[in-house]
Structure formats: structure tokens, C-alpha cells
Structure 1
Amino acid sequence: MDNTLALLSILLAVCGVVHAQTERPHILFILADDLGWSDIGYNNPYVITPTLDTLAQDGVIFNQSYALPACTPSRASLMTGYFAYRTGLQHDVLVKNRPTGLPLHFTILPQKLKEQGYSTYMVGKWHLGFCKDEYTPNGRGFDHFYGFYTAAGDYYTHTTGPKNFLDLREDFTPDRDQGGVYSSDLFSEKAANYVANHDTSKPLFMYYSLQSVHGPLQVPEKYLDKYLFVKNLGRRTKLGMITAMDDSVAVLVEAFKEHGLWNNTLLIFQSDNGGPANENNFGNNWPLRGSKKTLWEGGTRVVTFAHGPMLEKTGYVNNEMMHIVDWFPTLVNLTGGESDSDMDGLNLWDTISKGDPSPRTEFVYNIDEEDDIPRQAIRVGDYKLIHGKAGNPSHWVPPPENYCLGEAENGRIFKNYTRLFNLKDDPTERNDLSKAMPKKVEEMLARLEELKEKTYPVLHAPALNKESSPARFGGLWNLLIAILPILGVEVLYGENLLSDTCQ
């Protein structure tokens, strides 16, 4: 009898272990804003990011991970699994006073995870539209949201725009009581509270969409003191913001540990684009070329890593190709769901967890033909083709701990100008091969033309009339389109005020 009971106990214990290992993981997706390639400690020893460095080194660092050149296009790609040119949001970023947003025909990531039984929380920056309820985080699958709808704002007053209107809310309720609280502290505390109150019988998806380290350059004095060796005050402030961001991640990780979630949590950290390497923002992507809003590697090849006990191979740098669109199908499939077969994203779980070769062999940097000069780029295998305008700066900005102008590139950018690079041999894009390899150029241009057939027209919505100013609605950036008729405000644009996406 004793032997039987002992055997039964062992079997139950084994079953319990198997259950724990196959249980759907909690997911913590941290999206940094405007963090450059050389703006994290494991790529730059001058940067103080102990929490992120430890997580990355204990997990998997992805050395060839890509996003779009700017905020809104990247977020649209992450949330849908489609390249930005297929969402209508490929042309720059959403402006806060335009009544449009990520089209509603897309079922986005939190909605898919809710289908798998996940509780979904978002803290931080949205920037995918808020012209009416359906376009907000709460309308698109998040159980709870705390943060801001627009592109950026003051880190202490939580206001944005030339008139400093408030953009901070919990779900749909404005939060007017946080003036003077630094947003990194505010957001990490709110995210930790969501974790503390989470029903542990359900898997959790936390989208921690950081304000850091987008401008304006603001940080508590204690973080500036960590970088007194940096002479340039702008860069010193940027570095302080990065370290404050690291501390906010530490607070959230500790909350996951304290409430018993950490041992089954997949953490993903990624930047939405390269750093803006200019004398107003002081981000850096060295040794990569270019910066935010460019098709150069410095604008699109981004800091990314994953951490979690479900990763089978850890403690190394993964050089396989991946793109921000791949997270959607990877996470949905990991949690037991299925994604659209027409989706651009690929399920890279075996690459991420085991280090297997990536099924991704090509991707589109962007296809944008809104201006006289096209802005297009594609990678196929080791080769990258840029057609038209790549964007400025087009040079290599040295590490701004010793800030200088860098190596400027001369010459005009013509409409049909093409450049070809072998990124395996030349990851910093210094050797243009277009004249030496005309057949390769022709082949990749043809592939671009083929992919263009799936382009979704750029979403253009009229700018709102001054009658919709937040000054008339309590000083808050809000669902103005939805409430204008209710409040009896004259709609001077008539029926055209509402774009097709917000009717």
C-alpha cells in the first residue's frame, strides 16, 4: 500500500509539472519609444540599464530584428501582423486632430488573445487613433487602459500640443491628479497595480507601451547625476531617461515576481524604431546608418530581446531575421489561436525559443508613394534595396557621449535613385552595390512592384476645425468626433468632417 501511495504521489507530481509547463504563458510586451541601437547597456557600456541588460543576457538578444521607421506604422504592424503599407498607416504618424485611426476591419492582438481567455491590460502610449470609442484601446480588446492617446507629451504635466491640453486617462476617465508625477514612475506603478489585482486563474497579457524615451527631454535630477561624465546636457538627459526607463521595468518585473506570475511569463522588449539622432533628441544608433524616420538600418533595425522560462535556448545572440509583424502570429499561435493566412507576420516561435533558422527570408521596410519621391525599401536574403528617398540623416552619427556631426553624405536624392547593400558583409551600409549588380537591382525592384499590389491606400482625414479644440471640452484630448454632435457644436466640415474610418 505504501508503495502504491508513493507511486501515486510521484505520478501526481509529474502531472503537476507537465501542467505547469504546458500552461499558457503570461505575456509582458514592453515597447520602448525612440530607443536607439546604442541606447542600451548591452550595446553601449556608457548606458546604465542593469535590469534590461540582465533580462537580455539571461534570455535571447535578437541582432536582426526590424520595425518601421516611425511610431504609428510600427504600432500598426505590431497590433495587426501586417506590414504598415497594408494598413493605410504607412505614411508618417497619426496627427492628434485628425479623425482617423487603425482601420476597424483588423482584429488586433489583444482581441485575439482575449479569444484565448487572456486578461488584457495596456499602460502607456497608444497612437493608433481615438476619434471614437471603437478606435481606443478599450474599444480594441484591452480590458483596462491607463495612458495617453497621442504621440507624446510632457512627462510631468501629461499635456501635449502648443496649448498644453491634458492627455491622460484610465479607461475613458480623465486623470487630472497626476501633475508633477514623472510618467515613468506613474506608469510603472499603474501597471504593477494591474498585476496585483489580476485574477491569477486567467493568463495575462500586459502591453507596457513606454513613453520613454521619446521627447521632450525630461528626467529627475537624480538620473542626471549618474551621467556627469557626459558633457552634452541633451545627451546626458537622454541617458538619464533611459536609466529611469530601466528602473520602471524593474518595478514591473518585481510585481510579476511578487504576485507569483514571473515563473510563467514571456517578456518581450523592443523599440518601435531607431533613435532620433539629432541635436534635439540625442538618441543614437551607432554604428548603424541613419536614424528614426529613415529607411536606413539606424531607423529600422531595433533593440529586441526575449526572456522567459519557456525559452529552450538562452544566453546568446540570435542573428536570424525577424520583423515586428511576426509577434502577432507567434504569440497567437503560442497561446493556442490561429492567425490569418494572408498575414505578413510569420510564426517564429521555434526561432525565438530554440534558435532554429528563421522562416522569414524577406520583408518590406516600407512602401510609401505619397510624395513626389517614393520611399521604399525591401530586404531579400542578405540584400537590401532602397528605392527613392531613404530619409535624413543619411550619415553615421558617432556615439554622442563624444557628440559631433558625424560623416555627412553628399549628393541629391533623385526620384528613381536606387541603392543596393549586402547586409551580411556590410551591415552599416557603406558600400552601394547597385551599379555592380544591376540584375539584382532589377530583380528586387520587380519584387517591390509585385508586393505593391497589396497596398492599402494611405488614410487621409481632414484636420479638425478649431471648434473641436480641447479648450472647449475641459482641456482634454478626447473622443472629439464622437461628442461634437452630442454637444451641439456646429460641424463646419459638414458630412466630410467624419472620415470613412470614423463614421
Structure 2
Amino acid sequence: MKIIIKQHFFFFLILVGFIETALGKNRPNILVILTDDQGWADIGYNNPAVYTPNMDKLARGGAIFTNHYVMSQCTPTRAALMTGRYPSRFGPHATAASTAPAFPKGTTTMASMLQGEGYETCLSGKWHLGSSPEHGPNYFGFDQSYGCLSGAVGNYNHGYRKGPLFHTWHRNHQLIEGSENGVHTTQLITDDAIRFISKKRDNPFFLYLAYTAVHTPLDERGEFIDQPTRLDPKNPNRWQNEDEIAWFNDPLGKIQKEKDPEKRLFLAALHHLDHSIGRVTKALKDGGLLKNTLILFSSDNGPQVNWPGNAYPDDLKLTNFNQLLPMRGKKQDVYEGGIKVPGFAHWPGKIKPGKVKIPIHIVDWLPTLAHLVGHEPKIKMSWDGIDQSPAIFENSSTADREMYWVQKNKCRALRYGDWKIVSYSKKAPQKSSDWELYNLTKDPKEKTNIASKYPKIMADLHRRLIKHLSMDQ
């Protein structure tokens, strides 16, 4: 036993040495790309019907996370990403989309940690962790920020829904009302990111690039900004001016071949997003920065459910407009379709191309980055995530660990190893028989509830989840 322990410890020291050698004296620039409502099937490497060549190139040139998990909705995932903690640790308000502050000022975030390590920090895009300027990103470690404080906004007027928080488009918490109207949000966010990347600096940078795409409202009218996206009266299966708008056309004809106009509109928005990520990658390459930039990519949750189309000006009612998922559930679900999304890490020469099959959660990203930059917290951090650098750099397996989800008072789930329990109820289950049980290796689509067959496993997972509930606010 002592020999085995020594061997494992020796291997750990070798791995730590490898990572430190890989980093060298020059710590990497860090680019975190978070897309919005992009489901597992909404990327080319998972679905050949989708045209995303730039995302695919980055993914296939790095480590693809085949079991990458997030929370089931936007605000909770962003809270988990920024803090390395499950959002329920901050209270029920943080477990669903909200305009309220997700966590208090003074909370250690990914940005504040990297800022303390000498990084120049920037957010380009969507914040959605507090929709008023008094709780904006610059209070949480960002040197500069631009985009929307709220959730997703109209693509050409940049307004958030109809109501008192319509104007949250800002630069460094100063609201911008109308002066940038007519330019698509995806373009504005990308332009700002490229400006930040292209700036001359002595220190490494951290860029959090948080797109609003492909969240509704979908609007890809291109240069025809005076015409809301609507179906062509001469051809009700096509959108107006579709042939003249770049995003509806791709070299392989995938978008043009899609017969359903709603699905084609979504694919056009995805094409626009992919092209923009390609622009950002090109800016890194042109500036000689790509080889020393770690890129982490994820969506914030599974695909959007049917959209009523009454929240924004020129909003469209959309039904079944996403790509079909090979799994159960969508956004706001804790079944796999709501929480398992595209994810990958790219760093030329440092991360080997391949697939990382162990489960990784977005709460792991902060502890992983903290390790990579040599961060030593002054106080003990209560992170729920773990350092995944061994998996990313060496594709090493890790011990089974718990992953935990709460979606307000709607649903809960816990994964441990191959097993996962799920419950949809307003109240937390009081006994193990209140749960559904699935073996994700044998039943990845969660079709067969086998709770009655495995009472001991049910009892163990129930106990583990109750422990997590006791740690929540």
C-alpha cells in the first residue's frame, strides 16, 4: 500500500512539474468564450448538419470535453463560472435567470483572482449577474466592461425586454441609449473584444467574451436594418432578403438546404456567431498571441424551449427551431439536454488534440485557472469545483466526484460516477424513493428510471444530495 501511495505521489509531482514547465515564465493570456443557449447539437463537431467551422477548428485542435456540464440556465451558469461555486450557495435567487445581484460584492471571482495576479481583465458581452450599474462587472475584478448588464437583448436596439430595465447596454457601467442602434450585438461584442486583444500591453490579459447569441430574439436581417426579420410574402418558407444576407449562406449549403424557416434562422444566427469567433481567433493570430493564449469555450445551458415571441420589439414566435438533441431535456431542465453542452480547451503546443471523457463542470474552471497561474489564496476558498489541469493537459482520469444542480424550486439533480438522480418537485425530496435514477453509461438518454432496482445506490445518492442542500443558503 505504501509503495502504491508513493508511486501516485511521484506521478503527481511529475505532472505538476510538466504543467509548470508548460507555463514557463510567460503566463498565458486567457480567453473564456461563453455562448448563449447553444445546445449540445448546435456545433459542428457534434452534429454534421451544423456549419461552425471556426468553433470546430478550435475544438479539434484542443481538448474536447465530451461530458461537459453547466447549470440549467444563464444566470446560474455565469455565477458558477465566475465563483467556482454552485449558485445555490448564494441563495435561491441565484439558481434561475434574474435581474437581481447573484452574489454579494466582495465575492472572489475569476476576474478578481486574475486581476490580483497581474492580468488586465475585460468583459465583452453579457453580464447577467446583476442588471443595474451598481452591481456591474467592474465591481468584481474587471478593469473594463462593455455589453449588456441584463440577459439577452434585441440584436439591433440592444434593449432588454419590455420594462424598466430596457436600457442596460453599457460601457463601464455608463448606459448607452440608442447611439449604437442598427449594429448587431454579435458584431458589437466581437469588435470590442478585438479592440481589447489588439491593445499593446506588458501584462497578460483575461478576456471574458460572453455572447448573447444564439439566445432569442433571433434577428439576422443583415444590412436591411429598416426591415424587421419576417417571412417573404412571395415565398413563406424564406425570410426577406435571405439570399443577400451572408449568414443565411454557407459554402457547403447546409443552411440553404434546411427547409424549415425557423431552423434556418437559428442556423444563420449560429453562422454569424461562428464567423465572429473566427474573427477573434484571427486577431489573436495576427497579433502573435494565439500560441500563448488558453481558450476555454462553453455554452451556458441547453437549447431554448419554444419561444412565445412577445418580449422584445420585432420579436418572433419560434417553435422547435433548435437542432434535435440525442438526449432528454432542454434549457431549465436538469436532464442531460439542459445541462450537458459543448465545451473545449485550446492552447497550441500545450494542450494535445483529443477528447477528455471524464465529467467536467464549469465550476471547475476557476480552480483550474487558479492552479495554472500559480494563485495562492490568502484565505481558504470554499470552491465546489476542482482543478482539472491533469485531465486537460494529460487526459488523466480523476476519482469520481459529485456534481449538483438546483433550478429554483423546480428541479434538482446529482451525478456521482455513472449514476444520476433527478427530481422535479417544488419541495426537496425527503426520502430516497422520491427520486428518479439513471445510469448514464448504459442509458445516456435517461429513458428508463431504475430507482426501484437499486435502493442502496438511491439511498447513497440521496444522502449526498441532502448534504449539498445543507450547504446552500
TM above 0.5, one fold? yes
**Aligned residue among 433, 437, 448 for 1:431:** 448
Kept after mapping to 2: 8 A contact 1:101/1:131 = no
Q: Note closer, same or farther for the CA distance 1:277–1:93 as it changes in structure 2 (3 Å cut).
A: closer
Please tell me whether residue 224 in structure 1 is matched to residue 248 in structure 2: yes
Q: Note closer, same or farther for the CA distance 1:90–1:144 as it changes in structure 2 (3 Å cut).
A: closer
CA distance in 2, matches of 1:358, 1:430: 27
Q: CA deviation at 1:449?
A: 1.1
Please tell me whether residue 73 in structure 1 is matched to residue 82 in structure 2: no
Please tell me whether residue 303 in structure 1 is matched to residue 342 in structure 2: yes
Aligned counterpart, 1:149: 149
Cα deviation, 1:426-467, whole Å, max 9, x if unaligned, reads: 1111121111112211211111111211111xxxxxxxxxxx
Q: CA deviation at 1:301?
A: 0.7
SS at match of 1:165: coil
Q: Note closer, same or farther for the CA distance 1:276–1:416 as it changes in structure 2 (3 Å cut).
A: farther
Q: CA deviation at 1:222?
A: 2.2
Aligned counterpart, 1:38: 41
Q: CA deviation at 1:319?
A: 0.6
Kept after mapping to 2: 8 A contact 1:277/1:285 = no
Q: CA RMSD, aligned part only?
A: 2.2
Cα deviation, 1:164-194, whole Å, max 9, x if unaligned, reads: 9333221133333211111111111111011
CA distance in 2, matches of 1:439, 1:101: 36
1:82-481 equivalences under 5 Å are: 82-88=85-91, 89-95=93-99, 98=100, 100-131=101-132, 133=134, 135-162=135-162, 165-175=166-176, 176-199=178-201, 201-219=202-220, 220=222, 221-226=245-250, 227-278=255-306, 279-280=318-319, 282-284=321-323, 286-309=325-348, 311-314=350-353, 316-339=354-377, 340-359=380-399, 361-366=401-406, 368=408, 370=409, 375-389=411-425, 417-456=434-473
Q: CA deviation at 1:90?
A: 4.1
SS at match of 1:123: strand
Q: Max radius of gyration: which structure?
A: 1
Q: CA deviation at 1:285?
A: 5.6
Aligned length: 406
CA distance in 2, matches of 1:260, 1:20: 17
Kept after mapping to 1: 8 A contact 2:118/2:203 = yes
Segments of structure 1 that go 5 or more residues without pairing to the other structure are: 1-17, 391-413, 457-503
CA distance in 2, matches of 1:209, 1:387: 31
Kept after mapping to 2: 8 A contact 1:36/1:285 = no
Letter in 2 for 1:297: E
Segments of structure 2 that go 5 or more residues without pairing to the other structure are: 1-20, 223-244, 307-317
Q: Note closer, same or farther for the CA distance 1:137–1:82 as it changes in structure 2 (3 Å cut).
A: same
Q: Note closer, same or farther for the CA distance 1:326–1:454 as it changes in structure 2 (3 Å cut).
A: same
Q: Note closer, same or farther for the CA distance 1:301–1:20 as it changes in structure 2 (3 Å cut).
A: closer
Q: CA deviation at 1:38?
A: 0.5
Kept after mapping to 2: 8 A contact 1:266/1:310 = no
Letter in 1 for 2:447: R
SS at match of 1:343: coil
Q: CA deviation at 1:132?
A: 5.0
SS at match of 1:453: helix
Cα deviation, 1:9-40, whole Å, max 9, x if unaligned, reads: xxxxxxxxx79844111000000100011000
SS at match of 2:453: coil
CA distance in 1, matches of 2:102, 2:219: 29
Kept after mapping to 1: 8 A contact 2:68/2:360 = yes
CA distance in 1, matches of 2:173, 2:303: 31
SS at match of 2:436: strand
Please, what TM-score do these two structures have when normalized by structure 1?
0.77
CA distance in 2, matches of 1:20, 1:288: 38
Q: CA deviation at 1:76?
A: 0.4
Q: CA deviation at 1:294?
A: 0.4
CA distance in 2, matches of 1:238, 1:126: 23
Q: Percentage identity across aligned positions?
A: 33
Kept after mapping to 2: 8 A contact 1:77/1:84 = yes
Kept after mapping to 1: 8 A contact 2:419/2:437 = yes
Letter in 2 for 1:263: K
CA distance in 2, matches of 1:356, 1:453: 32
Kept after mapping to 2: 8 A contact 1:37/1:285 = no
CA distance in 2, matches of 1:280, 1:269: 27
Q: CA deviation at 1:292?
A: 0.3
Please, what TM-score do these two structures have when normalized by structure 2?
0.81
Aligned counterpart, 1:6: none
SS at match of 2:304: coil
